[in-house]
Amino acid sequence: MTAAARGEVTAAQIAAKFGPHWLMERAQPGEGGCIEWLGAVPAGGPQCHFAGRTWYVRRLLWAATRGRLPARASYVVAVCDNPACVAPAHLHQQTRSSAMRGNKPTADTRRRVAQARRKHSRLTPEDVAAIRASAEPGCVLDARYGLSSGHASQIRRGKIWADFGNPLSGLGSLTRQGREDDAGDLSPRALALARGEPRYRPLRPCPQGHQSARYASSGDCVECMRQQPAGVGGARWLFDWEGRA
């Protein structure tokens, strides 16, 4: 049984209502490509009323621009960490289990957690700098500083004591083979997500042969979304907004 047959709101209904004029009346362009919501912004993100109940605006815009409803057991968040941002290009779908495990904490959260842990560390920032600059084997450095086996090597790779002022810090540990869309070792998409950039340039064309940029949040081809017919996801209006912002 389809969603329409069950009396539920469909992605087509959302796309028909939540177009560019609706958004431009309720949001304004911000810095870094953000579109900032002018209405209610509680802890969970911007909200509005639709079909007799309260919705998160990001979930509605995800459905309107991508042609499908986000999974029930998921959150739609902004990769830019702006609590009021509803820019479709900044939206990223995250499972609830992943969010609860803290697999994708923001850079500010990682920094605060690391600072709290370092207060009780036997190492000083000067020790860490010396370990990174040393050409000696990791086992020698472990013995010298009284560290467990492999600890010095993890510091060198940025897995621990990461430099949060460097957007590339720690990305060397994300070694994964497979599709380019995966957050592989220094892949364009991984770098874009680490820097908070909404788009990236892929190494290979999309299945349709386009060499255009892709959205970092979903891996979708920008040109494919541009060519999508109006009413099928309603993605075309996104580019109308980007032309005005």
Q: Could you tell me if residue 3 is inside a domain? A: no
The pLDDT mean for the chain works out to 75
Whether residues 53 and 98 share a domain: the answer is yes
CA distances from 223 to 62, 166, 220 (A): 17, 31, 9
Whether residues 28 and 148 share a domain: the answer is no
pLDDT, position 51: 80
pLDDT confidence band for 175 (50 / 70 / 90): very low
Q: Could you tell me if residue 240 is inside a domain? A: yes
Is the confidence at residue 125, as pLDDT, over 70? Answer: yes
Whether residues 60 and 73 share a domain: the answer is yes
Whether residues 178 and 234 share a domain: the answer is yes
pLDDT, position 5: 42
Whether residues 35 and 87 share a domain: the answer is yes
Among 39-43, 171-175, 219-223, name the one with the lowest average pLDDT: 171-175
Is the confidence at residue 197, as pLDDT, over 70? Answer: yes
State the CB neighbour count (10 A cutoff) for residue 70: 19
The number of domains in the chain is 2
Whether residues 100 and 189 share a domain: the answer is yes
Whether residues 111 and 100 share a domain: the answer is no
Q: Could you tell me if residue 166 is inside a domain? A: no
Q: What is the mean pLDDT of residues 33-55?
A: 87
pTM passes above 0.75:
no
Is the confidence at residue 57, as pLDDT, over 80? Answer: yes
Q: Could you tell me if residue 117 is inside a domain? A: yes
Is the confidence at residue 115, as pLDDT, over 70? Answer: yes
Instruction: Report the sign of the C-alpha dihedral through residues 57, 60, 63, 64, in that order.
Output: negative
Whether residues 125 and 220 share a domain: the answer is no
Q: Could you tell me if residue 47 is inside a domain? A: yes
Whether residues 63 and 183 share a domain: the answer is yes
Fill in the amino acid letter for 38. L
What is the domain extent for residue 186? Answer: 11-104+174-244
Whether residues 112 and 233 share a domain: the answer is no
Whether residues 97 and 116 share a domain: the answer is no
pLDDT confidence band for 79 (50 / 70 / 90): confident
Is the confidence at residue 198, as pLDDT, over 70? Answer: yes
Q: Could you tell me if residue 167 is inside a domain? A: no
